[in-house]
A and B are shown apart, each in its own frame.
Chain A
Amino acid sequence: MSRNTRRRRLALATGAALSGVLFLSACSTDTNDTDNDSGSSDSGQANAASSNDDPGKKVVIGFSGPAADHGWLAAINSSAIAEAKKYSDVELKTAEGTNDANQQISQVETFINDKVDAIVLLPTDGAALTDVATKAMEAGIPVVNVDREFSTPFAARTTVLGDNYGMGVSAGTYACDVIEKKGLDDAVVAEIAGIDALPLTQDRSKGFKDALKACGQNVDNRVAAEFTVESGEKAASNLLQAAPKIDVIWNHDDDQGVGVKAAFDNAGRDEFAFIGGAGSCNAMQWIKDGQMAATVIYPPTQAADGIGLARLIAQEKGMSDLVQVAVPKRVVLDAPVVTKDNVNDYQDLCFES
């Protein structure tokens, strides 16, 4: 439990420190075209503007990510590119879109040959890209590691991560609130996980379990899908068969959530509080329509943050809200819960599935 609170406090601190960067990137997502877009981006600028945004030394940043085979990853790429466009002093070289570690290694090698000023890397597999990232660092090129961690700390100057454990904690804490409000003693809690073998799924599930334990609850039914719409539908249908009455469901991923929701609708079941994960535009819309209780954000703007930090590192600047003159080694992003009350604040961060 102490580790739990410490992590939450850490997440809170870094979240606060990063809110500036986050809000900036909020206006950079070009996937949404809501009418309040311009209004909120103005306020966003005002929240975070600092002398750091003034054009500085011209820098070339290389960016490589995995293939955009689902909505979240597509948003990672598009928001990173949009972030780079905002700065007149950044020239972005993108080598997006491969799930082949061999290919991605050669992309990074190309960046090293081209002597870029910094590299932002969301690896298809953290361990497989560690060697080449270390090579880049040894060549004097700072590497910003996004989302999937390298296997040694020498391979990255800065690491930007989403908080998977924290996501589970946020979902679990919210579930506890729901159960308390409903006044249930022994609630039926269900969980639809993503690909079970991935460490990130295990972290999310552990966080969820730990948070539920804190309010005396536990996960009664658990199924795993594979982050795709089809697998979500299948897993959710099976779950509904297995549990005739459910009070709270947490679905790890809003991309697979489209299928999960379809299964709910097909079965005509809505007796439970439906909690999502990641924060897609679909989920936000469902929250507005009252078809979903909440979703937990797993920021699709991590690579955009990585670009912003890479620019500061290459220009030898620190983060303006921190006293320290250099960019931090490690940034863990917040995993807030989005409900009907605050959905408008997060609308601009959403991504299309």
Chain B
Amino acid sequence: MSEQETGSTTAQPPVRESSPEAEVLESMSGSGRDRSSSFLGGLMSSSVGRNLGLVVALFALCLVGVATAGEQFASIDNALTILRLAAVIGVVSVGMTFVITGGGIDLSVGAIVALSSVWATTLATQSLARGNHWTVMVLVAVLVGLGCGLINGLLVAYGGVVPFIATLAMLAAARGLAEIIAQRRTQIVNVPGFTDFFRHDVLGIPLLVIIFALVALVGWVVLNRTTFGRRTFAVGGNPEAARLAGINVKRHTVALYAIVGLCCGIAAVMIVARTTTGSSTHGTLYELDAIAAVVIGGTLLSGGRGTIVGTVLGVLIFTTLSNVFTQNNLSSSAQSVAKGIIIVVAVLLQQRLATRSNSGGP
């Protein structure tokens, strides 16, 4: 799944010459410059090279795991444990990639996960699900997530509220509402169909992991192979230019926040399935985990450049890290320190490579 020079390769030949949209993309993706700079610099600053760097980092982490924990680390069961842990936060991170690529940020993802999980497991929802079908719970969670995302998007796009503030407000309000609905209790799922379904494996792969893979795949296709994706890069890179190029920036922004809300709804279903509970404490600090994964994946926080493959690798790096620490009896405090160092190193590397490729260009 190689992901390269998103703007130029995906733009169709007919539009390429004439459409201002394509020109905007060309100027922002920086891919033209990459080709003319030195080979190594070009490779490292292209998205393939960046992803290669992440793969190397992940591989190194796995080597550390094998060296320190041996067979216990290098087992299929352990790989599945890592993937199951990565699945929930991974789905949120895929949504976060969209919103950050589009030049925004969403601090409310954890709170939306909590609210969706609680709403989907209230007594009323559960009895409705028992009376009809367990998918009612899935539907409720997804709709609640989508609704919160829409509110965020409308506030940002049409209300003119800065994304940081709009989603900060949602962070506080959604978790508060979750606490009110659940009365701060843990709501246990008592719908046999729901829990049984999510316990299924397909060819030995847990369903949660498959959902994560599907979400990532759909996200990759939408971001890299559709007009919507190209517009996302344009809106994130330079909203004014995108508007002049005929993109409805406001509507597009709403759609981006709706996508991350939708992903939170899906993640809520997954966490309800994994814990068999809904709780207002679910998803605590997921916003930070998701943003960290997106950023070390190579998506620019300022928007205009984004990669789903990088995000998935970023999520895997953090979950593998926590697994290696658990295997080695190390405390989670040390783990947080390591996480912080990884974020800083990744961003410093990206900045150095970015400036090098800029100065090396024409």
Contacts and interface: CB of A to CB of B under 8 A. Distances in A.
B285 to A, nearest CB: 7
B77 A113 contact: yes
Contact of B275 (A95, A101, A114): A101
Nearest to B335: A97
A98 B85 CA distance: 13
Contacts of B284: 99-100
B186 A128 contact: yes
Interface in B153-210: 179, 183-186, 188, 195
Given A95-B332, A103-B322, A110-B78, 6 more contacts: A97-B331, A97-B333, A100-B285, A113-B75, A127-B188, A128-B186
Contacts of B184: 195, 197-198
Interface in B69-88: 72, 75, 77-78, 81-82, 84-85, 88
A95 B326 contact: yes
B329 A128 contact: no
B310 to A, nearest CB: 22
Contacts of B285: 100
Contact of B81 (A110, A129, A151): A110
B281 interface: yes
A125 B81 CA distance: 20
A50 interface: no
A106 B81 contact: yes
Contact of B329 (A93, A130, A199): A93
A279 to B, nearest CB: 25
A103 B186 contact: no
A96 interface: yes
B327 A110 contact: yes
16 contacts: A67-B332, A95-B326, A100-B284, A102-B85, A102-B271, A106-B81, A106-B85, A113-B75, A113-B77, A114-B72, A128-B186, A130-B276, A131-B274, A131-B275, A131-B276, A195-B184
B323 interface: yes
A109 B82 CA distance: 9
Contacts of B179: 197
Interface in B91-122: none
B232 interface: no
A105 interface: yes
B279 interface: yes
B271 A109 contact: no
Interface in A85-123: 92-103, 105-107, 109-110, 112-114
B277 interface: yes
Interface string A269-308: 0000000000000000000000000000000000000000
B80 to A, nearest CB: 8
B305 interface: no
Contact of A109 (B81, B195, B277): B81
Contacts of A131: 195, 274-276
B274 A107 contact: no
B186 to A, nearest CB: 4
A56 B88 CA distance: 42
B277 A128 contact: yes
Contact of B85 (A93, A103, A127, A198): A103
